[in-house]
C-alpha cells in the first residue's frame, strides 16, 4: 500500500501545470490591492484638503441639508442596544429621527428599550409600499421625541429594514447595525456628498473596530487597540478593506459594496427598486448592485459614493467560531449578489461596473478562495516533499506572503499619514506587527472560511447564523447604563456551566495551525534563501570559528 508521500507526489504532479498560474494570480491580486491603497492615499489627501474649506455650519444655515431617518434593526441585541441607541440620539444634526426595529428578539432587547427610554404605545398609520412581516406595536419615547421603536415578527435583517423604510418620514434613510456607535458629527460629514451632487442616491462610510476603545456617555472618546489577537487582526483588515479598498473603488466610480453596518440611501431610490431583498444574507451589497443596475438600465444620472471620514464603530467577534460564521455569511452574501446580477458581467452597457468592478469581484473575491486554497495546498505539498530549492517555492512565498505583508503594512502606514486615529506610537507599532502576522496562519484560515462560504452558497444555505455580542459595557468607563441584574445573573450562570472538551480544544486547534504555519514559513525562508545562496552557510562559518 503506497505511503502518504506517494499521494502527496501525485497531488503535486496533478497541479504542477498550474504553478505559474498560482504565482500570476497572487501577484496580480496583491498588486491591484497595493495600487488601490496608493490611489486611495492621494485621493484621501485631496478630499481632506477640500474638507478644510468646506464650511458645514454655514451649509446648515443655508438649509441645503436633507432630513434623515436612522434605521437600526435589532435581534437579540440586549448587550449593546441601550448604548447604541443613546449614541444615535446624540448625533449632531438638525433634522433626524431614530427608528429601532425589534425583529422578534427572544431576549430582553425590547424590555430594556421600554424601561430605559420610557416607551409608550401609539397608533401610527403607515404607508406600506414594501412587504414585510407583521408589526405588533409601535412605540414613542417620553424622553426623546425623535425616537420611534417598532416591534415586529422576526423576518431577519432585510425584512426589519423594510419595515423601517415604510415607517420613515424623512428623505434619506441611514441603515446601521444595532451593535454600532456613530460619531456625533457623522451625518454632518456624510451630508457633503448629497449637497455636492444632487444625483447621489447612496453613500457609505468607514466602519472601524470599537473593541479596546474608551467609550464614555455612549461616545468613543479615545481610540484604543483591541486586547485580543482576533480583534487586532480585524483592526488591520478593516483598515485595508474600508479605508483604502472602498475608497479606491469610489475613485473609479465603481463602488459595489456599502456595509450594512453603516450606509445612507435616498428613500425614493430604495422604494423604486423595491427595498431590501428578503431571501439573501447579503442584502447590503445586493441593494447597492441593484441600484447601479436600475439607474444604468433606466439611463438616469446617479452617483454612489464612499466617504472615509464619517466613522461608525462596531464590535467585532473575538471568538474563532463566531468570526468564522461571520466570514462564511459574508462570502455567501457576496456570491449571491454577484450571481443575481451576473447579467452585468463583461456587459459594456454598465460601463466600468460591467467591465472592471464585476469581473474583479467575480474572479477575485468570489472564486478567489478556490485558487488561494489550491495554491497554498500545493505550496505546502511541495514543502512536505522537501523541494525547498524549487523556484516555485521562492516565487510563491514572495508574491503570496511577502506582498501580502507589504499590502497590510501599507494600509496601516497610509492610515497613519492621513487620519491618524491611533495616536499612540505603541498602537501603530502593534498594528504594523499584526499586519505581518495576519499573512502567516490567519490568512490561510480565513481562506478556508471563505471557501466553505462559497460551498455553502452553492448548497443553497440561507441561514444568517447567531452572532454573540459581549457588548460595549466592558469598554465604557463613564456610561450611566449598566447591566441589568437579570443579564448579570445570566452571565454568572453561563460562567458556572463547564464547557465541553471540544469547546476547550477549538481555540487550541486554531492556534496550533497558526503556530505550525509560522514555524514552517520561518524554516522555509531560511532554507530557501540558503539554497539560492542568498544567505551564508552558517555551518561553514561555525566550523571556521571553532577551528
Largest Cα separation within the chain, whole Å, is 95
pLDDT at 24 over 60: yes
pLDDT at 315 over 60: yes
SS3 70: strand
pLDDT at 479 over 60: no
Output phi, psi for 106, to 5 deg: -100, 0
DSSP 479-494: -S----HHHHHHHHHH
Give which of 240, 276, 231, 283 is closest to 259, Cα–Cα.
283
Mean predicted lDDT score pLDDT of the chain: 83
pLDDT of residue 485: 38
pLDDT of residue 2: 65
DSSP 499: P
pLDDT at 523 over 80: no
pLDDT of residue 409: 87
CB 434 within 8 A of CB 412: no
Give which of 392, 528, 521, 400 is closest to 19, Cα–Cα.
392
**What's the pLDDT tens digit per position in 25-58?**
999 998 888 888 888 888 888 877 766 555 555 5
CB 307 within 8 A of CB 259: no
pLDDT of residue 421: 79
DSSP strands (E only) in 223-323: 262-266, 303-314
Q: Percent of the chain scored above 70 by pLDDT? A: 80
Give which of 266, 375, 294 is closest to 12, Cα–Cα.
375
CB 323 within 8 A of CB 317: yes
pLDDT at 332 over 80: yes
- Measured distance CA(54)–CA(125) in Å, rounded: 40
By CB atoms closer than 10 A (0-12, 13-18, 19+), residue 266 is buried
The full length of the chain comes to 547
**What's the pLDDT tens digit per position in 372-414?**
999 999 998 888 888 766 788 888 988 888 888 888 888 888 8
User: What mean pLDDT do residues 101-111 have?
Assistant: 95
**What's the pLDDT tens digit per position in 164-222?**
999 999 999 999 887 788 888 888 888 788 888 889 999 998 889 999 998 887 788 88
Q: Would you give the end-to-end CA distance of the chain in angstroms? A: 49
- Measured distance CA(389)–CA(393) in Å, rounded: 7
pLDDT of residue 515: 57
pLDDT at 439 over 80: yes
CB 531 within 8 A of CB 389: yes
Cα angle, residue 206 at apex, residues 326 and 173 outer, rounded to 5°: 90
Chain centroid to CA 264: 16
CB 93 within 8 A of CB 62: no
CA distances to 286, 357, 501 from 361, in Å: 13, 6, 40
DSSP strands (E only) in 385-500: none
CB 332 within 8 A of CB 281: yes
- Measured distance CA(389)–CA(533) in Å, rounded: 10
pTM assigned to the model: 0.83
Task: Give the residue with greater pLDDT, 373 vs 419.
Answer: 373
Output phi, psi for 273, to 5 deg: -95, 5
- Which contacts of 1-5 are long-range, i.e. CB under 8 A and separated by 24 or more positions? 5/384, 5/385
pLDDT at 487 over 50: no
Cα angle, residue 213 at apex, residues 209 and 218 outer, rounded to 5°: 100
pLDDT of residue 547: 57
pLDDT of residue 54: 56
SS3 158: helix
Confidence of residue 137 (pLDDT cuts 50, 70, 90): very high
pLDDT of residue 7: 87
Confidence of residue 145 (pLDDT cuts 50, 70, 90): very high
Amino acid at each position: 500500500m503506497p505511503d502518504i508521500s506517494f499521494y502527496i507526489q501525485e497531488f503535486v504532479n496533478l497541479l504542477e501545470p498550474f504553478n505559474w498560474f498560482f504565482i500570476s494570480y497572487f501577484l496580480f491580486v496583491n498588486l491591484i490591492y497595493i495600487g488601490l491603497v496608493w490611489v486611495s492615499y492621494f485621493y484621501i489627501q485631496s478630499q481632506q484638503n477640500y474638507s478644510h474649506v468646506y464650511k458645514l455650519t454655514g451649509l446648515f444655515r443655508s438649509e441645503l441639508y436633507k432630513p434623515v431617518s436612522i434605521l437600526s434593526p435589532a435581534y437579540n441585541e440586549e448587550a449593546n442596544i441601550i448604548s447604541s441607541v443613546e449614541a444615535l440620539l446624540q448625533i449632531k444634526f438638525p433634522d433626524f429621527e431614530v427608528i429601532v426595529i425589534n425583529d422578534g428578539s427572544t431576549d430582553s432587547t425590547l424590555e430594556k428599550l421600554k424601561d430605559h427610554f420610557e416607551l409608550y404605545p401609539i397608533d401610527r398609520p403607515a404607508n406600506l409600499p414594501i412587504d414585510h412581516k407583521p408589526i405588533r406595536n409601535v412605540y414613542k419615547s417620553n424622553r426623546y421625541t425623535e425616537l420611534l421603536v417598532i416591534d415586529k415578527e422576526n423576518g431577519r435583517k432585510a425584512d426589519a429594514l423594510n419595515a423601517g423604510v415604510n415607517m420613515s418620514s424623512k428623505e434619506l434613510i441611514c441603515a446601521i447595525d444595532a451593535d454600532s456607535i456613530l460619531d456625533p458629527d457623522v451625518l454632518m460629514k456624510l451630508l457633503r456628498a448629497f449637497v455636492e451632487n444632487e444625483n447621489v442616491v447612496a453613500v457609505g462610510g468607514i466602519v472601524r473596530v470599537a473593541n479596546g476603545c474608551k467609550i464614555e456617555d455612549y461616545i468613543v472618546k479615545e481610540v484604543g487597540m483591541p486586547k485580543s489577537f482576533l480583534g487586532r487582526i480585524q483592526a488591520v483588515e478593516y483598515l485595508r478593506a474600508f479605508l483604502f479598498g472602498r475608497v479606491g473603488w469610489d475613485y473609479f466610480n465603481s463602488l459595489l459594496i456599502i456595509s450594512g453596518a453603516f450606509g445612507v440611501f435616498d428613500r425614493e431610490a430604495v422604494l423604486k427598486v423595491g427595498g431590501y431583498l428578503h431571501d439573501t444574507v447579503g442584502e447590503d451589497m445586493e441593494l447597492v448592485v441593484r441600484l447601479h443596475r436600475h439607474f444604468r438600465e433606466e439611463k438616469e444620472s446617479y452617483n454612489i459614493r464612499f466617504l472615509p471620514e464619517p466613522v461608525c464603530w462596531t464590535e467585532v467577534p473575538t471568538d474563532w467560531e463566531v468570526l468564522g460564521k461571520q466570514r462564511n455569511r459574508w462570502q455567501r452574501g457576496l456570491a449571491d449578489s454577484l450571481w443575481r446580477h451576473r447579467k452585468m458581467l463583461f456587459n459594456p452597457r454598465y460601463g466600468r461596473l460591467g467591465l472592471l468592478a464585476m469581473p474583479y469581484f467575480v474572479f477575485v473575491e468570489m472564486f478567489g478562495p478556490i485558487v488561494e486554497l489550491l495554491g497554498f495546498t500545493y505550496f505546502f505539498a511541495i514543502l512536505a516533499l522537501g523541494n525547498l530549492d524549487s523556484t516555485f517555492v521562492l516565487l510563491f512565498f514572495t508574491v503570496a506572503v511577502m506582498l501580502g505583508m507589504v499590502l497590510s503594512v501599507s494600509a496601516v502606514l497610509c492610515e497613519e499619514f492621513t487620519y491618524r486615529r491611533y495616536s499612540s506610537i505603541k498602537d501603530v507599532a502593534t498594528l504594523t506587527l499584526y499586519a505581518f502576522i495576519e499573512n502567516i496562519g490567519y490568512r490561510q484560515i480565513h481562506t478556508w472560511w471563505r471557501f466553505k462560504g462559497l460551498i455553502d452558497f452553492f448548497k443553497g444555505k440561507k441561514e444568517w447564523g447567531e452572532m454573540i455580542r459581549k457588548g460595549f459595557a466592558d469598554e465604557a468607563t463613564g456610561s450611566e447604563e449598566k447591566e441589568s441584574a437579570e443579564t448579570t445573573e445570566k452571565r454568572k450562570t453561563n460562567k458556572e456551566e463547564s464547557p465541553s472538551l471540544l469547546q476547550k480544544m477549538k481555540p487550541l486547534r486554531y492556534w496550533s495551525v497558526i503556530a505550525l504555519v509560522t514555524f514552517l514559513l520561518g524554516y522555509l525562508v531560511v532554507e530557501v534563501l540558503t539554497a539560492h545562496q542568498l544567505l551564508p552557510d552558517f555551518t561553514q562559518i561555525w566550523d571556521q570559528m571553532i577551528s
